[in-house]
Amino acid sequence: MDEKIPELTLTPDLTDTPAVEVSPKEAAPAPKAGPDLSSLSPAEQKAVLDFAEKIDLSNSGVVLQYGAAAQKNIANFSESTLNAVRTKDMGELGDMVSDLVAQLKGFSAEEEEKKGFLGMFKKASNNLQNMKIKYDKAEANVDKIAEQLEQHQVVLMKDVALLDQMYEKNLEYFKQLSMYILAGEKKLADERATTLQELYAKAQASGLPEDAQAANDYAALCDRFEKKLYDLKLTRQISIQMGPQIRMIQNNDTLMTEKIQTSLVNTIPLWKSQMVLALGISHSKQAMEAQRAVSDMTNELLKKNADMLKVATVETAKESERGIVDIETLQHTNQSLISTLDEVMAIQTEGRQKRQEAEVELQRIEGELRQKLLEVRK
C-alpha cells in the first residue's frame, strides 16, 4: 500500500475551506514533535529534500506565504474543534431529573393515619387513587428522561466519531507542518552556507556598495524566513497540544455515553420497579391496617360483651338469692311498730293521769262554786 505523503506547496489557496466532515476511523497514536529528518519515512524525507530545492528565498512572496496552507488548515481545524467541544445543553434534562426526584421523594406508601374503625376505610380508595396518579406522572417523566438520555447518547456518539476524524486530520496537519519546517530549515541552512556566503565574499572582494547591499538584503530575507519557520513551529506546537485535548474530550464523551447506557439499562428500569414496589407496599399496608382495625374492633367488642355479661350475671345472681322482703326491712318495721306502740301507751297513760287530775280539779272547782253559791244565799 502506497504511503500517503502530505502535499507541500509554495502557492497556497487561502480561501475558506469547509469544516471536516464526520467519517469514523480507528484511533491513531498521538503526534510527537521531531524536527530532524529521522522522524520521517524515506519517502517523506525525499519529498522534503525535493521541496527544499524549490524554495526561492529571493522571492519575498514565497517567504511571506511559506506554510500558509498548513496554517490555514490548522485554523479551520481549531474552529471545528471549538464547535465540537462546545458544551451541550443539558438544562432541560437537568430540570426534568430535579422534578422527578421531588416526585419520587413524595412517592411513598406512608399516608396520614385515620382515627377510628371506619376512618381507615373512609379514604382508602382515594389514597390508592392518589398513589396511582403519582405513579402515572412519575412514569411519564421517567419515559421523557429516557428519551432525552437516548438523544444525548446519539449526539455524544456522533461527537466521538467526529473527534476520531479530527484526530486523524490533526496528525495529517502536524506531519505537513513538520515537513514544511524541515524543508525550510534545510533550505535556510543551505542558503546561509552557500548563497549568502558567496554574496558576502563578492561584496568584500568588489568593495561595491551595491554588492554589500545585496548581501545584507539576502541576509534579511534569511532572517525573515527564519522568523517564518518559528511561526510555523508555534503553529505545530498548537497541533501537538490538540492531540491530547481531542483524546481527553473523546474519553469524556465515551464515559458519558457509557454512563447514559447504564442509566437506560439499569437505572430507569430500577426507578420503575421501585415505584411498582411502592404501590404494592401501599396495597399491603392498607390491607394490613384494615385487618388490624377489624381485629382491634373484634377484641374490643369481645371485652366489652364479657364485662357486660359478668356484671349482668352477678346482678342476676344477687337478685335471685334475695328474699321478697329483706330482714333489715322487717327489723326496721318491727322497731317502728314497737316504738309506735310504746308511744301510744305512753300517750294513753298520760291521758288517763291527766283525766284523773282533771276530775279532782273539777270536783274542787265544783265544791268551791257550790260553797260560793251557798254563801250568796245567806
Task: Tell me how far apart the alpha carbons of residues 285 and 236 are, in angstroms, rounded to a whole number.
Answer: 70
DSSP 371: H
Cell numbers at 206, concatenated? 568588489
37's CB contacts (< 8 A; 6+ apart) are: 45, 48, 182
Predicted confidence pLDDT, tens digits, the chain (378 residues): 455 666 666 665 545 444 433 333 333 333 333 346 777 788 888 888 888 888 888 887 877 888 787 777 777 766 766 665 565 555 555 566 666 566 666 655 454 444 454 454 555 556 667 767 777 777 777 777 778 778 878 888 888 888 888 888 888 888 888 888 888 898 899 889 998 999 999 999 998 999 999 999 999 989 999 999 998 898 888 888 888 888 888 888 888 888 878 877 887 787 777 777 777 777 777 778 778 888 888 898 889 988 998 888 888 877 777 667 778 888 888 898 899 989 989 999 998 898 888 888 888 888 888 888 888 776
Cα-based angle 24, 29, 32 (whole degrees, multiple of 5): 135
- Res 20: pLDDT: 39
Q: Which residues contact 374 (CB under 8 A, 6 or more apart)?
A: none
Phi first, then psi, for residue 270 (nearest 5°) are: -65, -45
What is the architecture, at CATH level 2, of domain 37-86+124-289?
A: Orthogonal Bundle (1.10)
**How far from chain centre, in Å, is Cα 11?**
57
What is the DSSP annotation of 74-137?
A: HHHHHHHHHHHHSPP--HHHHHHHHHHHHHHHH--S--PPPPSTTHHHHTHHHHHHHHHHHHHH
- Please name the helix (run of DSSP H) or strand (run of DSSP E) that holds residue 146, with its range, or none: helix 124-193
Q: Which residues contact 252 (CB under 8 A, 6 or more apart)?
A: none
C-alpha–C-alpha distance, residues 56 and 10, integer Å: 9
Residue 213: the pLDDT is 94
Domain boundaries, the chain: 37-86+124-289, 326-378
Other CB atoms within 10 Å distance of the CB of residue 297: 13
Q: Return the axis-axis angle of helices 91-106 and 268-321, rounded to nearest 10°.
A: 10
**Beta-carbon contacts of residue 204 (< 8 Å; ≥ 6 apart):** none
Q: Closest Cα partner for 30 from 161, 178, 167, 163?
A: 167
Q: Say how far apart CA 191 and CA 197 lie, in whole Å.
A: 8
CB 139 within 8 A of CB 276: no
By the 8 A CB rule, do 233 and 179 touch? Answer: no
Given phi > 0 = left and psi -120 to 50 = alpha, else beta, which region is 167?
A: alpha
**Phi, psi (5° rounding) for residue 343?**
-65, -40
Question: In the prediction, which pLDDT does 202 show?
Answer: 92
Per-residue CA distances from 344 to 62, 140, 188, 338 (Å): 165, 105, 167, 10
Who's near 92: CB < 8 A, 6+ residues apart?
Answer: 148
The greatest distance separating any two alpha carbons of the chain, rounded to the nearest whole angstrom, comes to 227
Query: What pLDDT score does 30 carry?
Result: 32
The amino acid sitting at 313 is T
